[in-house]
Amino acid sequence: MSGNVNETKLVNFAMANKARRKIINFLANCDRGIEEIGGINGKETLDFHLKILQEAGLIELEERNVKLSEYGKNFLKGKKENATEEIKDLSQAKPVEIAEIRQLLPCIADSSKFRVIANMTPPLGGILKILEPIFPRGNYSDIKDSLIVKRGEIITTIFGSGKVSMRMIKNEDEAREELENLRNNINEAILKGVVPAPREKIRVELMDIYKYLPQTNCGKCDEQGCYSFAIKFMAGQVTLEKCTPLKEPKYAYNEEQLQFLAVYV
Ligand code: SF4
């Protein structure tokens, strides 16, 4: 594994699942038999998880034995070092409230949508930067002292001063719901007192989505075909639930991949 973008995506996908993280940790000290691994995680989905870990280059399979690859060992070692180095202390931070929606104005980019300005109290100030990793598509700017968070089409900017601006909103109800989610995510991290180490940013391309769709162009999603669906999905205009064929057992792997990638779209 050389660590290129596609390989990084495979590894991140593999490690995004709790059962697979458990398998990797179980292999940390010694090689294990397949039966032994089945004992900790259940046998039903074992082949599925092992295949994904193998594709990511994290494990090697030898007959009925499983072991960490050299890459898997280095990966696990790096994770441990980062985890101890980069967890940030939030114990002095206070839970926030998002006080009011002060304006609901037409969006410049799309006049059918709105932008809103709200106010967060107390202002997050210096801890705003620390919170970046709790948002999969969060980007902190030192210059502007702001954290930009993207979710679907919606773009939210939180400023250290407490100002919150949100763009591409459908209506006031959606604005309130988004602001409540934002507050809950921030407060959950503050109550825990720590945030995860900054994670690697994953750039999702249109073809990443298309390649995991069933590609039957069945039209059950009310789109012309899977490619059109992928375009709308990238724009945050449709959700994976609309592609009902993904629920068929034969697409379980594809669905999990897409669920994983969806967080970064
Ligand atoms: S429902 Fe799924 S498989 Fe069918 S066209 Fe839409 S995206 Fe493609």
pLDDT one digit per residue (tens) for the chain, 265 residues: 545 666 777 888 888 788 888 899 999 889 999 988 988 877 778 888 898 999 889 999 988 899 999 999 988 887 765 554 445 667 677 889 887 777 777 777 677 788 889 999 999 888 888 888 888 778 888 888 899 888 877 889 999 999 999 888 888 888 889 999 999 999 988 888 767 665 566 678 899 899 999 999 999 999 999 999 999 998 878 889 999 999 998 998 889 888 878 877 7
Mutation choice for ligand 1 from 229, 241, 257, CB with most ligand atoms inside 8 A: 229
How many Cα neighbours within 13 Å face the side chain of 74? 8
Residue 229, ligand 1, Cβ within 6 A: yes
**What is the pTM for the complete model shown?**
0.54
Distance 264 CA to ligand 1 centre (A): 21
What domains can you pick out in the chain, each with its CATH number? 5-86 (1.10.10.10), 97-195 (3.30.310.10), 206-262 (1.10.15.40)
DSSP code, position 52: H
Give pLDDT, residue 115.
Answer: 85
The CA 224 to ligand 1 mean position distance, Å, reads: 9
State in Å: Cα 208 to ligand 1 middle: 15
Q: Which of 222, 226, 251 to mutate to test the pocket of ligand 1 (most atoms within 8 A of CB)?
A: 226
Angle at 204 between CA 202 and CA 205, to 5 degrees: 145
Neighbouring residues of 225: CB distance < 8 A, sequence distance ≥ 6: 217, 219
Ligand 1 proximity of 224 Cβ (cutoff 6 Å):
no
3-class SS of residue 155: strand
Task: Identify the pLDDT of residue 3.
Answer: 52
- The pLDDT value recorded for residue 81 is 58
Q: How far apart are CA 174 and CA 178, in angstroms?
A: 6
**Ligand 1 near 230 CB (within 6 A):** no
